[in-house]
A and B are shown apart, each in its own frame.
Chain A
Amino acid sequence: NAGVTQTPKFRILKIGQSMTLQCTQDMNHNYMYWYRQDPGMGLKLIYYSVGAGITDKGEVPNGYNVSRSTTEDFPLRLELAAPSQTSVYFCATSRGGQPQHFGDGTRLSIL
């Protein structure tokens, strides 16, 4: 039982490049979330989804896009990478009202 799987684990991008961070879950949870965590800081919500086909913005959505075509997958897209997007990105899932379970994160550096 894998839980929440994020790929890749590490990535270096050049300014202006684009990429997709993958998140897959096998827990059949309806709710999925993307967070970023900057050094020495807590987690900030980028986007979330309460089910397939439904997404909504969190605290810091600018520069990112998401889609949710299936229950299992919730990819996060960076279209034009900027140095300010250097961070560790966490995907999480939950059943509504229950604790969120986190993936191991993607460490992204933009140079």
Chain B
Amino acid sequence: EDKVVQSPLSLVVHEGDTVTLNCSYEVTNFRSLLWYKQEKKAPTFLFMLTSSGIEKKSGRLSSILDKKELFSILNITATQTGDSAIYLCAGSKETSGSRLTFGEGTQLTVNP
């Protein structure tokens, strides 16, 4: 059975802090690892990582994948209150319609 585990499950920080969110996965026929941000409604796409060791970056957010150790991290530097959200990690399959297996998510709260 495919499994994705995120840690920590919740995190409270102050504005300006740097945070690291962790995601480990066991997905058969693994294709890629995806990160989503979920505020009040729909998850919105952040990153898709297919290759090991190549950092993807978007503003203050960055992410990297280690396919040997089966994990990924999402870093957020200089956090802002607008970063408060649930961050979801998901593993995608090569087969079976590229279906995603999601972790439980990390609830990030950034206090002013």
Output the nearest chain B residue to A45 by Cβ-Cβ distance.
B99
Query: How far is B105's CA from A50's CA once the two chains are assembled, in angstroms?
Result: 26
Across the interface, do B43 and A90 meet the contact criterion of CB distance under 8 Å? yes
Output the nearest chain B residue to A91 by Cβ-Cβ distance.
B42
Interface flag for A2 (CB, 8 Å): no
Output the nearest chain A residue to B32 by Cβ-Cβ distance.
A97
- Sorting the interface of chain B by its residue count into under 10, 10 to 19, 20 to 34 or 35 or more gives 20 to 34
Interface flag for B68 (CB, 8 Å): no
Query: How far is B38's CA from A43's CA once the two chains are assembled, in angstroms?
Result: 11
Across the interface, do B41 and A99 meet the contact criterion of CB distance under 8 Å? no
Q: Which of B34, B103, B104 contacts A99 (CB 8 A)?
A: B34
Output the nearest chain B residue to A107 by Cβ-Cβ distance.
B41
Across the interface, do A48 and B99 meet the contact criterion of CB distance under 8 Å? yes
Closest CB-CB distance, B103 to chain A, in whole Å? 5
Q: Which residues of A from 24 to 53 have beta carbons under 8 Å from B?
A: 31, 33, 35, 40-45, 48-50
Closest CB-CB distance, A5 to chain B, in whole Å? 11
Q: Inside 8 A of B90's CB, which chain A residues have their CB?
A: 42-43
User: What per-residue 1/0 map shows which CB atoms of B11-37 lie under 8 Å from chain A?
Assistant: 000000000000000000001101000
Query: How far is B90's CA from A103's CA once the two chains are assembled, in angstroms?
Result: 17
Q: A96-B97, A97-B98, A99-B34 are in contact. Are A40 and B104 (CB under 8 A)?
A: yes
Q: A99-B45, A102-B42 are in contact. Are A94 and B98 (CB under 8 A)?
A: yes
Across the interface, do B102 and A103 meet the contact criterion of CB distance under 8 Å? no
Query: How far is B90's CA from A56's CA once the two chains are assembled, in angstroms?
Result: 19
Q: Inside 8 A of A42's CB, which chain B residues have their CB?
A: 4, 6, 88, 90, 102-105
Query: How far is B96's CA from A50's CA once the two chains are assembled, in angstroms?
Result: 9
Q: Inside 8 A of B64's CB, which chain A residues have their CB?
A: none
Q: Inside 8 A of A90's CB, which chain B residues have their CB?
A: 42-43
Listed A/B pairs (25) with beta-carbon separation below 8 Å: A35-B102, A41-B104, A42-B6, A42-B90, A42-B103, A42-B104, A42-B105, A43-B90, A45-B99, A45-B101, A48-B99, A90-B42, A90-B43, A97-B31, A97-B32, A97-B92, A97-B98, A99-B34, A99-B48, A100-B34, A100-B45, A100-B100, A102-B43, A103-B42, A104-B41
